[in-house]
């Protein structure tokens, strides 16, 4: 498959379509990003690399980090304990919604919405001596890249404004589903969201989920096949909040978005792909990112469906 040729076609089409959207502004630091950025990088499971545009520029991965948090939690805690505290159903609601939490006794619908990720962060705080340090070490290990880091300004900016997340975690604390100090868990959650990575780095990290849980460089297993299947399944059904159905319908791959404008998608046993364009639709997903991935599966004529 001529992936580079296909990526070039996608770049041309996206530039021509002039897709609209708004840069996330509820985290003030994110509002400073230039809206016209566009990059894409595809890493195949045999180690080929294809890319265009701003694919090497780092951006705030935001909710994409929820996949790393879940991965680390699955390595640290028994499945039955995790899945008692977080469900695996699509929410059909926005990423920061509180409504279901009260009806459902403080049990979040899934680990890829904010409430679910907060519970996962609580589990990590219980298991890690130094959550911030060990989390970063883990991300660096699966990325094979020791330069990946938090963006302290982004984390601080969200800490000042994160009223919804603060409401959510306190509600769950009331239901007994947060075991640690709420401010400690919130701080850690904001740190995880603040990690900066480029499309290249994201694609090279997520290829593990396309490679049955093994790192590409040495084929060392990080995740079991069952955990890899489950994470991909949760990305498929829950990775885009109330747009998970639309993403499946248009793209047909498991994936995860973030309000920094990044989207990663995984084609098991084939490739991982990351795209970045900061203009978001009203659901908080990158407009051009979704379109680029739709074009990828349409032009290649293959998706998991």
All residues at 6 or more sequence positions from 12 whose CB lies less than 8 Å from its CB, including other chains: none
In this chain, which of 21, 131, 239, 258 binds ligand DON, going by CB under 6 A?
258
All residues at 6 or more sequence positions from 152 whose CB lies less than 8 Å from its CB, including other chains: 194
Contact between 158 and ligand DON by CB under 6 A: the answer reads yes
Contact between 259 and ligand DON by CB under 6 A: the answer reads yes
Total site size for ligand DON, rule CB under 6 A: 13
Instruction: Tell me whether residue 11 or residue 191 sits nearer to ligand DON (CB atom).
Output: 191
Instruction: Tell me whether residue 181 or residue 282 sits nearer to ligand DON (CB atom).
Output: 282
Instruction: Tell me whether residue 165 or residue 248 sits nearer to ligand DON (CB atom).
Output: 165
Token pair listed for 132:
């911030």
Contact between 193 and ligand DON by CB under 6 A: the answer reads yes
In whole angstroms, what is the distance from residue 97 CA to residue 146 CA?
A: 35
DSSP at 64? G
In this chain, which of 115, 165, 211, 303 binds ligand DON, going by CB under 6 A?
165
Instruction: Tell me whether residue 157 or residue 228 sits nearer to ligand DON (CB atom).
Output: 157
In this chain, which of 21, 53, 252, 284 binds ligand DON, going by CB under 6 A?
284
How many helices (H) and strands (E) the chain has is answered by 13, 7
Residue 158 annotated as part of some ligand binding site: yes
Instruction: Tell me whether residue 177 or residue 192 sits nearer to ligand DON (CB atom).
Output: 192
Strand residue runs (E) in the chain: 39-44, 49-53, 59-60, 196-197, 255-257, 262-267, 271-276
Contact between 297 and ligand DON by CB under 6 A: the answer reads no
Contact between 228 and ligand DON by CB under 6 A: the answer reads no
Q: What are the start-end ranges of the H helices in 36-151?
A: 65-76, 79-85, 99-103, 114-127, 131-143
Q: Which long-range contacts (CB under 8 A, 24 or more apart) does 102-109 make?
A: 102/171, 105/175, 106/171, 106/172, 106/174, 106/175, 106/176, 106/177, 107/175, 107/177, 108/172, 109/238
300 membership: H or E segment, kind and range: helix 287-300
In whole angstroms, what is the distance from residue 62 CA to residue 68 CA?
A: 11
Is the alpha carbon torsion for 11, 194, 57, 144 positive or negative? negative
Binding mask 34-73 for ligand DON (x = CB under 6 A): ----------------------------xx----------
In this chain, which of 59, 68, 95, 276 binds ligand DON, going by CB under 6 A?
95
DSSP at 280? B
Question: Candidates 11-19, 223-231, 253-261, 271-279 — which segment interacts with ligand DON by CB under 6 A?
Answer: 253-261
Question: Candidates 75-83, 142-150, 215-223, 252-260 — which segment interacts with ligand DON by CB under 6 A?
Answer: 252-260
Question: Candidates 37-45, 143-151, 197-205, 255-263 — which segment interacts with ligand DON by CB under 6 A?
Answer: 255-263
Q: Which residues bind ligand DON (CB under 6 A)?
A: 62-63, 95-96, 114, 158, 165, 193, 257-259, 284-285
Binding-site residue numbers for substrate are 63, 114, 158, 165, 189, 241, 259
């Amino acid at each position: 498959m001529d992936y580079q040729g296909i990526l070039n076609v996608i770049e041309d089409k996206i530039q021509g379509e002039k897709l609209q959207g708004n840069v996330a502004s509820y985290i003030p630091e994110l509002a400073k990003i230039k809206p016209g950025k566009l990059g894409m990088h595809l890493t195949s499971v045999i180690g080929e690399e294809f890319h265009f545009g701003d694919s090497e520029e780092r951006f705030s991965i935001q909710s994409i980090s929820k996949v790393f948090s879940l991965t680390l939690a699955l390595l640290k805690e028994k499945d039955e304990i995790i899945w008692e505290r977080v469900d695996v159903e699509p929410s059909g609601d926005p990423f920061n919604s509180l409504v279901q939490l009260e009806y459902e006794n403080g049990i979040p619908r899934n680990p890829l919405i904010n409430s679910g990720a907060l519970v996962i962060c609580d589990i990590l705080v219980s298991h890690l001596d130094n959550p911030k340090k060990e989390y970063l070490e883990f991300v660096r290990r699966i990325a094979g890249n020791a330069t990946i880091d938090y963006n302290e300004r982004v984390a601080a900016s969200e800490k000042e404004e994160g009223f919804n997340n603060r409401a959510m975690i306190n509600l769950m604390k009331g239901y007994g589903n947060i075991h640690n100090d709420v401010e400690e868990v919130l701080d850690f959650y904001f740190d995880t969201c603040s990690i900066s990575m480029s499309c290249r780095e994201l694609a090279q990290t997520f290829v593990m989920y396309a490679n049955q849980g093994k790192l590409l460089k040495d084929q060392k297993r990080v995740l079991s096949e069952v955990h890899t299947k489950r994470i991909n399944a949760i990305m498929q059904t829950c990775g885009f909040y109330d747009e998970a159905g639309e993403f499946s319908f248009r793209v047909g791959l498991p994936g995860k978005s973030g309000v920094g404008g990044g989207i990663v998608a995984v084609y098991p046993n084939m490739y991982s792909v990351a795209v970045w364009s900061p203009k978001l639709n009203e659901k908080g997903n990158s407009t051009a990112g979704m379109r680029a991935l739709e074009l990828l599966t349409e032009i290649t004529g293959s998706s998991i469906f």
